[in-house]
């Protein structure tokens, strides 16, 4: 496959400019978190009209994908067997892949009967295993092999996540993001509240340095995984609300692309000392930054990480302190 791309230097310059325009401050050079290609550990394929691939930009059309230069070696190895399975599924079915330490996990969302999809998975199981697939779920329910894979960064505490649930784009990318977040948190953060905590990706690292950690997420499945990944933290769904007392020295939040909702921001504004905001969208970060600074915080610093080269995506870790 011929690879056509803008140079990494040009991509970083553009992404740096986007973040600086959004936040109104100068930031350090963008951190190159991963190699330009072969970094992606997760993907979602759609079945339509004999094609098994990605939806075209701003379209429902499905582009048949025989290979992808962004796929990690594990995903690339599994793709032929996954495509062969997908070609036998009804149109509208979806295939989510997640690579981890053990191999690749696959979740099938069939357009037809789940029982038929499970039977088809059993027929294709030998080929899937030969491609490095270690487990299959159907509509999130265990069907074959492992129910999840370890998506933790190299050397990190285990973090079991199934295909279809949220994880960072790749394990190497996650290592860079965790390092940036923990640098912003500091070595002695005190009492920490973590909002939009997901499956405990950052929580695993907060527990050893914080005096206490209260973590929450609206996704019940993520909270269950978080309790297993970081059992020393106090976990809850939001709502129920995290109580205001004891007050938090630091609030860490990692909201979805649309940014923090009113309840999340209200909780973050209760931080006594610092808010660390992890964002995958500079525009919604800028909107929420205005609300944080309007409530008395100062935007002290922001760092940008390129976790997904060849795309417009950029991750930002911003620090807000009380004067």
Q: Give pLDDT tens digits for 108-157.
A: 999 988 999 999 999 999 999 999 999 999 999 999 999 999 999 989 99
Give me 69's structure tokens: 């230069």
- What three-state secondary structure class fits 10? helix
Q: What is the mean pLDDT of residues 18-32?
A: 97
For residue 280, indicate whether it is catalytic: yes
Q: What is the mean pLDDT of residues 246-255?
A: 91
Per-residue HEC secondary structure of 61-101 comes to CEEECCCCCCECHHHHHHHHHHHHHHCCCCCCCEEEEEECC
State the pTM of this model: 0.94
Dump pLDDT digits (tens) for 181-223: 999 999 999 999 999 999 999 999 999 999 999 999 999 999 9
Q: What is the mean pLDDT of residues 28-44?
A: 97
- Chosen CATH of 8-35+166-321 out of 3.90.1150.10, 1.10.287.110, 3.40.50.10800, 3.40.50.150: 3.40.50.150
CATH class label, 42-150: mainly beta
pLDDT at 240 over 60: no
Q: Where are the domains of the chain?
A: 8-35+166-321, 42-150
Let me know if the fold of 8-35+166-321 is the same as that of 42-150: no
Task: Report the residue count for the chain.
Answer: 323
In the Cβ-directed half-sphere of 109, how many Cα atoms lie within 13 Å? Answer: 14
The interaxial angle of helices 282-294 and 8-23, nearest 10 deg, is 30
Q: Which of 68, 124, 196, 280 is catalytic?
A: 280
Q: How far is CA 199 from CA 42, 167, 280, 289, in A?
A: 16, 8, 17, 25
Q: How far is CA 210 from CA 131, 152, 203, 207, 274, in A?
A: 41, 20, 10, 6, 13
pLDDT-based confidence at residue 242 (cuts at 50, 70, 90): low
What integer pLDDT is reported at residue 28 of this predicted model? 97
């Amino acid at each position: 496959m011929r690879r056509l791309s803008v140079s990494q230097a040009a991509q970083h310059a553009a992404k740096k400019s986007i973040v600086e325009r959004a936040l109104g401050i100068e930031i350090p050079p963008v951190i190159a978190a991963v190699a330009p290609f072969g970094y992606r550990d997760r993907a979602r394929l759609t079945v339509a009209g004999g094609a098994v691939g990605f939806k075209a930009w701003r379209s429902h059309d499905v582009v048949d994908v025989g290979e992808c230069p962004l796929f990690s070696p594990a995903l690339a190895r599994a793709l032929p067997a996954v495509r062969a399975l997908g070609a036998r599924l009804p149109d509208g079915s979806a295939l989510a892949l997640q690579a981890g330490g053990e191999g690749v996990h696959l979740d099938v969302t069939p357009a037809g009967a789940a029982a038929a999809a499970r039977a088809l998975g059993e027929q294709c199981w030998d080929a899937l295993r030969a491609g490095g697939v270690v487990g299959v779920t159907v509509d999130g329910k265990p069907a074959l092999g492992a129910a999840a894979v370890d998506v933790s960064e190299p050397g990190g505490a285990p973090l079991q996540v199934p295909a279809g649930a949220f994880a960072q784009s790749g394990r190497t990318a996650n290592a860079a993001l965790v390092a940036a977040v923990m640098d912003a948190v500091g070595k002695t953060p005190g009492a920490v509240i973590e909002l939009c905590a997901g499956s405990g990706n950052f929580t695993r690292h907060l527990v050893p340095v914080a005096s206490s950690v209260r973590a929450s997420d609206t996704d019940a499945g993520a909270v269950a995984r978080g309790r297993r990944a970081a059992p020393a933290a106090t976990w809850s769904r939001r709502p129920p609300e995290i109580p205001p007392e004891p007050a938090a020295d630091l609030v860490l939040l990692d909201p979805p692309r649309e940014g923090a909702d009113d309840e999340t921001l209200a909780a973050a504004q209760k931080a006594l000392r610092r808010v660390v905001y992890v964002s995958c969208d500079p525009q919604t970060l800028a909107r929420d930054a205005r609300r944080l600074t309007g409530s008395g915080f100062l935007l002290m610093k922001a760092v940008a990480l390129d976790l997904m080269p060849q795309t417009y995506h950029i991750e930002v870790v911003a620090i807000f302190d009380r004067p």
